[in-house]
Amino acid sequence: MVNPPKQTIGVCYYPEHWPESRWDEDARLMVAAGITHVRIGEFAWSKLEPNPGEYRFDWLDASFEVLHRHGLKVVLGTPTATPPKWLVDQMPDMLAVDENGHVRGFGSRRHYCFSHEDYRKECARITTQFAKRYGNHPALIAWQTDNEYGCHDTVISFSEAALKGFRNWLAQKYQSPDAMNRAWGNVFWSMEYRSFDEVELPNLTVTEANPSHLMDFRRYSSDQVKSFNKLQTDIIRKYSSAPIGHNFMGSYTDFDHYAVSEDLDIATWDSYPIGFLDRDSSDDENKARYLGVGDPDLQAFHHDLYRACGQQRNGAADGRWWVMEQQPGPVNWAPYNPAPYPGAVELWAWEAFSAGAELVSYFRWRQPSFAQEQMHEALLLPNGEFNEGYHVCEKVSKLLESMEAKAQVERADVALVFDYESQWAWEIQPQGRDFSYIELIMRYYRALRRYGINADVIPATKEAIANRKLLVMPGMFNVSHELAEALASSKATILAGPRSGSKDENFQIVQDLPPGALRELMDIKITRVESRPPTSPVPLEDDFAFEGWREFVTAGEEVSASMRSEDGHDGVFENDRMIYLAGRPNAPLADHIIKTALEKAGIVAERLHRDIRLRDNNGIRYIFNYGPETVDCSEIIGGSELEFGEVKLVPRSVTAFRL
C-alpha cells in the first residue's frame, strides 16, 4: 500500500435512544477517548419513516451536525435490517419462513426474506433517501449496508418468494430440466423433474433431500444476499463517493462473504471473543482457560478472513478491513456471558490492529436500559458513567497516536484456503456426525498460529494462491481442473486432505475417485472413507491419531507413504510438491504435519508457548499472552526496544516492538 491508513478507534451510536440534550456531551466524551469514527442510522427506520412515505430526517440531520461539529466522522448504516411494522403489514409474505414452514414474525429484527421482490423495492426506496440526503455530507466517512446479513439464521428461507426465486435461478442455471436432472442425478429415487416448476424447496422431505438439490439451494440463497446488497451499493454509488462496507459476523458461513465483498470497499466484521468462546467451543478445558479472553485463534482467523474479503472488490492487496463492532464487556446473547479478564479488552484491540485493521469500533457507546440488548455492556453504563471499555479506548488511542500506527500487512508466504461452498457441502453431507469443515480448517490454522506463522486466509482463486510458499487446503470440496493446474504451476508446497477434491461442482463424486483434479499433483486414489465416533480414534505413531475421519488410499510409486495406523493403513502421502493427510488430525498430528509442510516449503518456525501468539503489522511485531500465567518473552524480543508492554508478559497482555 502506498499510503497505508492510520489506525484508529470508533464506536456504534444510537442517538435516537437518548435525549437530544445529551448528544453534545456524548460527542465531547467520544473525542476525549480518542474516538474518531461513529456508526449511526442502522435500525432507525421506524424513527425516520414513522408512517409510509412520511420521512422524519430532522433528528438524523441534527445528529450528523453534532458529530461533525466535534470533528467526528460518520459511518451511516441503511436501516433495512429492521423494516417497521407498517411495512410488514403491507406485505406479510415478505417474512421469512423457517425449515418447518413456520413464518418468522415481526418483533425483533431481520424479519425479511432476501428473495422478496417487493421488499427489495422498499429497500431501494429508503436507501435512495439515505444516499441522496447524506451522500455528500462532509462528516460522512463510509456507508454500511443493512446489518449483519444472516444473523439469527436468516439467509435461508423457505418462503413462497424463495421458491419462486429458486425455480427461476435453476432455470437460468440449467436451461433445461434434463440438464438439471443429470447434474443432480435425479434418476435416483425417481426424482426426475419435467419442468423447473416441479422443483420444491429441500425442506420437510421425508428423508434427506438430494445433496445436489441442497447445494443449489445454498448457492441460490447466498446469491440472494449478494444481489440484495448490490441493490443498495449500486444506489449509494450513484449519489455518494464514500466507501461502502457491511458488518459481517464471526463463525457465520451461510453466504459467500467473498462474493458479497466484491461489491464492498471495506470488509468489516463484528468481534465478540467471549460470546463465541462459550457459544461455539466444544473444548471444556479451553473454555475454562480462556473464559474471559476468548479463543486465542478464532478472532485472528476472522481478521485474516475478512482482510481477504476486503481485497475482493479491486482484487488487489490494498483491501481495507475494520472491526465494526468490538465487545467491550459482557454481552447478553451467549449461553453464559462472563466478564472480560483484566487486560482482555485491550488485547483484542491489538489483535485486530496487528492484523491490519484500520478501525476498531466498539459496540456500543452507551448501554441502553431497555429492550433486547439491555444486558449488553457498552463504553458507558446505562446511567452515562464510564464503563471499563471507555478507559481502554483512551489508552489504546493514545498509543496508536504515539506509535503512528498504520494498517499495513504484507502478503503472507503461507495461505490457508477457506471456501464457503466447502462449508455448505460438508454441512449437507458430513458423513460422520461431527465432521465440520470450519472446524477442520481451524485445526490447521491453530497449528500455524502455534508456530507463530502469520498466514493469509484466502479464497481458492488463481490470484490469491499466487506467490505463496505453502498452500494449505484441507476439505476443499471441489477442486476444478483450472485450480489444479494453477496449483501445479505454482511453486508452493501444497498441503491437502482429507476430503480435498472429492466432489465435482454438481456434488457428485469425482470421476475415477478422489482427490480428482488434485491427482495432477499427486498420484493417489481414495478408495474408501470412514467416519468414527469420538470414542474410537485411529491411533497412528506416537500420540498422533486421526479423529472421526479416515481415508484409505492407494498411491502410485513415486508417492511416499508414512504414518501407518495400528491396523495397517498409511496416513500421510508425500511427493515433491504435495502432502496429503488421509484423516482429521488430532492436535499433535496437526502440529506435526504443519511443521513438516513448513520445512518442505523452506519456512523456519518454532513452536510457541501454548498461550503466546505473534503478529506483524507495518514493521511492528506484537506478542500476545492469552493465558493465566506470566510468560517471559525475552527470546522472541531479543534486544529490541518495546513500543509498549513488558518482556515478562502478564496474563492477557500485549507487547510490541519494531522489527
Q: So which residues are the catalytic ones?
A: 148, 325
- Is the distance from CB of 367 to CB of 374 less than 8 angstroms? yes
In angstroms, the Cα distances linking 470 to 151, 160, 415, 457, 600 are: 34, 46, 6, 12, 9
Name which of 151, 164, 155 is nearest 228 in CA terms: 155
Q: b/e map of 161-197 (b: 16 or more CB within 10 Å)?
A: bbbebbbebbbeebeebeebbebbbbeeeebbbeebe
Q: b/e map of 9-30 (b: 16 or more CB within 10 Å)?
A: bbbbbbbbbbeeeebeebbebb
Exactly one of 70, 120, 213, 366 binds a second copy (CB under 8 A); that residue is 213
Compare residues 51 and 560 and give the one whose CB is closer to a second copy: 51
In the complex, the smallest distance separating the C-beta of residue 548 from Zn ion, rounded to whole angstroms, is 31
> Does 113 count as an annotated binding residue?
yes
Binding to a second copy (CB under 8 A): which residues in 82-121? Answer: 82-86, 89, 96, 100-111
Q: Is 253 left (phi over 0), alpha (psi -120 to 50) or beta?
A: alpha
Asked if residue 552 binds a second copy (CB under 8 A), the reply is yes
The 188-207 contact track toward a second copy, x by CB under 8 A, reads xxxxxxx---x-x-xxxxxx
Compare residues 336 and 562 and give the one whose CB is closer to a second copy: 336
Asked if residue 278 binds a second copy (CB under 8 A), the reply is yes
Asked if residue 5 binds a second copy (CB under 8 A), the reply is no
Exactly one of 93, 160, 280, 373 binds a second copy (CB under 8 A); that residue is 373
Hey, how many other C-beta atoms are within 10 angstroms of the C-beta on 601? 18
Exactly one of 115, 186, 221, 397 binds a second copy (CB under 8 A); that residue is 186
In the complex, the smallest distance separating the C-beta of residue 317 from a second copy, rounded to whole angstroms, is 37
Asked if residue 251 binds a second copy (CB under 8 A), the reply is no
Three-state SS string over 575-602 comes to CCCEEEECEEECHHHHHHHHHHHHHHCC
- Is the distance from CB of 132 to CB of 230 less than 8 angstroms? no
Helix (H) or strand (E) holding 268: strand 266-271
Give the HSE-up count for residue 103: Cα atoms under 13 Å, Cβ half-sphere: 10
Exactly one of 508, 575, 596, 640 binds a second copy (CB under 8 A); that residue is 508
Compare residues 284 and 641 and give the one whose CB is closer to a second copy: 284
Exactly one of 136, 175, 314, 527 binds a second copy (CB under 8 A); that residue is 527
In the complex, the smallest distance separating the C-beta of residue 59 from a second copy, rounded to whole angstroms, is 11
Binding partner selected for residue 287 from Zn ion, a second copy, none, CB under the kind-specific 5 to 8 Å limit: a second copy
Binding partner selected for residue 391 from a second copy, Zn ion, none, CB under the kind-specific 5 to 8 Å limit: Zn ion
Asked if residue 490 binds a second copy (CB under 8 A), the reply is no
Binding partner selected for residue 56 from Zn ion, a second copy, none, CB under the kind-specific 5 to 8 Å limit: none
Q: Collapsing DSSP states into helix, strand and coil, what is residue 527?
A: strand
Compare residues 184 and 622 and give the one whose CB is closer to a second copy: 184
The span of 186-194, 227-235, 345-353, 408-416 binding a second copy (CB under 8 A) equals: 186-194
Compare residues 134 and 390 and give the one whose CB is closer to Zn ion: 390
Binding site for Zn ion (CB under 5 A): 100, 391, 394
Exactly one of 90, 387, 461, 480 binds a second copy (CB under 8 A); that residue is 387
Structural Rg of the chain based on CA atoms: 25
Give the HSE-up count for residue 551: Cα atoms under 13 Å, Cβ half-sphere: 25
Exactly one of 21, 241, 489, 536 binds a second copy (CB under 8 A); that residue is 536
Q: Quote the CA–CA distance of 597 and 254 in Å, as a whole number.
A: 31
Hey, how many other C-beta atoms are within 10 angstroms of the C-beta on 605? 15
Binding partner selected for residue 200 from Zn ion, a second copy, none, CB under the kind-specific 5 to 8 Å limit: a second copy
Asked if residue 332 binds a second copy (CB under 8 A), the reply is yes
In angstroms, the Cα distances linking 389 to 52, 300, 324, 362 are: 39, 20, 15, 8
Name which of 151, 356, 400, 418 is nearest 272 in CA terms: 151
Binding partner selected for residue 634 from Zn ion, a second copy, none, CB under the kind-specific 5 to 8 Å limit: none
Asked if residue 370 binds a second copy (CB under 8 A), the reply is yes
Q: Which three cell numbers stand for residue 477?
A: 470440496
The span of 5-13, 118-126, 224-232, 369-377 binding a second copy (CB under 8 A) equals: 369-377
> Does 123 count as an annotated binding residue?
no
Question: For the range 101-108, what are the long-range contacts, defined as Cβ-Cβ under 8 Å and sequence gap of 24 or more?
Answer: 101/158, 101/203, 101/204, 104/154, 104/157, 108/152, 108/372
In the complex, the smallest distance separating the C-beta of residue 389 from Zn ion, rounded to whole angstroms, is 10
Within 389-514, strands assigned E span 414-417, 456-458, 470-473, 493-496
In the complex, the smallest distance separating the C-beta of residue 112 from a second copy, rounded to whole angstroms, is 9
The 27-56 contact track toward a second copy, x by CB under 8 A, reads ----------------xxxxx--xx-----
Q: Quote the CA–CA distance of 546 and 548 in Å, as a whole number.
A: 7
Number of residues in contact with a second copy under rule CB under 8 A: 109
In angstroms, the Cα distances linking 282 to 278, 433, 437, 586, 611 are: 8, 14, 15, 14, 18
Q: Collapsing DSSP states into helix, strand and coil, what is residue 299?
A: helix
In the complex, the smallest distance separating the C-beta of residue 512 from a second copy, rounded to whole angstroms, is 5
In angstroms, the Cα distances linking 357 to 263, 280, 454, 640 are: 19, 24, 15, 24
Q: Quote the CA–CA distance of 505 and 178 in Å, as a whole number.
A: 17
- Sheet holding 612-617: strands in order across? 612-617, 620-625, 653-658, 642-644
Asked if residue 431 binds a second copy (CB under 8 A), the reply is yes
In the complex, the smallest distance separating the C-beta of residue 373 from a second copy, rounded to whole angstroms, is 7
Q: Which three cell numbers stand for residue 465?
A: 494462491
Compare residues 99 and 606 and give the one whose CB is closer to a second copy: 99
> Does 59 count as an annotated binding residue?
no
> Does 109 count as an annotated binding residue?
yes
Compare residues 100 and 634 and give the one whose CB is closer to Zn ion: 100
Asked if residue 122 binds a second copy (CB under 8 A), the reply is no
In the complex, the smallest distance separating the C-beta of residue 564 from a second copy, rounded to whole angstroms, is 15
Helix (H) or strand (E) holding 482: helix 481-489
Compare residues 100 and 190 and give the one whose CB is closer to Zn ion: 100
The span of 19-27, 222-230, 412-420, 501-509 binding a second copy (CB under 8 A) equals: 501-509
Binding to a second copy (CB under 8 A): which residues in 65-84? Answer: 79, 82-84
Q: Which residues are annotated as a binding site?
A: 109, 113, 147, 333
